[in-house]
Amino acid sequence: MKITRRLGFFGVFLVTLLAGAAFLTIFWEVMAQNQAPPHHQPGGFRNPHFDASGRGKDFFRWRFGLGPKEEPALSPETIPAFHPQMTPVDLNCLNHADPETIQITWFGHSTFLIQVAGLNILTDPHFNHRASPVSFAGPRRLTPLPLRQEELPPIQAAIVSHNHYDHLDRTTVRKLGNGVRFFVPLGLAQWFRREGLENVEELDWWQTTRFGAIRLHCVPAQHFSIRTPFDTNKALWAGWVLATPPGNIYFAGDTGYSPDFWEIGARLGPMRLALIPIGGYRPRWFMRPMHLDPGEAVQVHRDVRSQQSIGMHWGTFKLTEEPLAEPPLLLQKELAEAGVPAGRFIVLGFGETRVFRPEVTEEQERGGAAGR
């Protein structure tokens, strides 16, 4: 009888212990889910890999020429005067893209037309003559637009990396209208809605959504957001990966170098195509945390496991101190030093279109060989 009671007591104790352990497991899982991600902060967002304190003071040091002096990246005599390579836009090609390929057209800065899986998608759409809140001042477009916005084929979607004026132009997106689906980082949808644009979806880093035959992944970038003196970092900044039938396309947006690129490559690579900034990098003492230079762009190409990369964010607006013609020249130098074939990371002419077909990966080749 005593043994039976002891066994009964032990059973109740064991059940209670297991129930308590299960409760604690659920409790900590809920707590972990409710914990804010490291890039969130009260009232906005931050960069997990970079402490931005003191940036305001450094900005004025830069603008007043009070920062440290730096040696030029290339000898000034080796850099020619800037004459943009303009390529006449092939409207027939734009209006008859093969849905089984990736067709890319560059219009300058960070604006590309991606045509894939029967969709026409713009990146950071900007077809205005200034990157500014006003029409009479601010950075002026130094390279003519290869075509008028009205000449574009029907656009179904646009992806936006952040709210800076050289990446998000009010006039351009209002012309695109509610027939276009806008994909934006967290906190930016309310700006679109204030502009009367309701067809907008916002995502946090590592969130995913579907549009037609493609899946869009919002991925980390190291940058910041500001549109007025009162909204610094209240909206998120991001890159995007488009998972498409011919392969994944990575649009880096605007970013400095961080460990995030390796993680993007590990989670979502390899990339059939990567669109990576190569300009806006001088002076390095100030620009390094927020803007890649060509050497870092080559490292991003490797980190995200890109089969083919295209340089962007150069030659359109004079925003920083490097000569306008320097980024492609420095890119070639960095590719050679890194042992990356020059054809794997190219720049396009303004208005140029390239077509990329699905490429067999090393993993697929090994799998095919094993099956034979």
pTM of the entire structure? 0.89
Chain-wide mean pLDDT for the chain?
91
User: What pLDDT does residue 232 have?
Assistant: 96
The string over 258-291, giving b where at least 16 C-beta atoms fall within 10 Å of a residue's C-beta and e elsewhere, is: bebbbbbbeebbbbbbbbbbbbbbbbbebbbbbb
Dihedrals φ, ψ of 115, to 5°? -120, 115
User: What pLDDT does residue 356 have?
Assistant: 98
* Per-residue tokens: 205: 């880093």
Cis peptide before 270 (omega within 30 of 0): yes
Tell me the mean pLDDT in the region 64-70: 93
Q: Which residue has the tokens 């980190």?
A: 303
C-alpha distances in Å from residue 159, one per residue of 44, 131, 156 = 21, 18, 11
User: What pLDDT does residue 9 have?
Assistant: 55
Dump pLDDT digits (tens) for 173-221.
Answer: 999 999 999 999 999 999 999 999 999 999 999 999 999 999 999 999 9
pLDDT tier at 371, thresholds 50, 70, 90: very low
Per the CB < 8 A criterion, the answer to whether 224 and 47 are in contact is yes
C-alpha distances in Å from residue 278, one per residue of 21, 40, 96, 326 = 53, 28, 30, 10
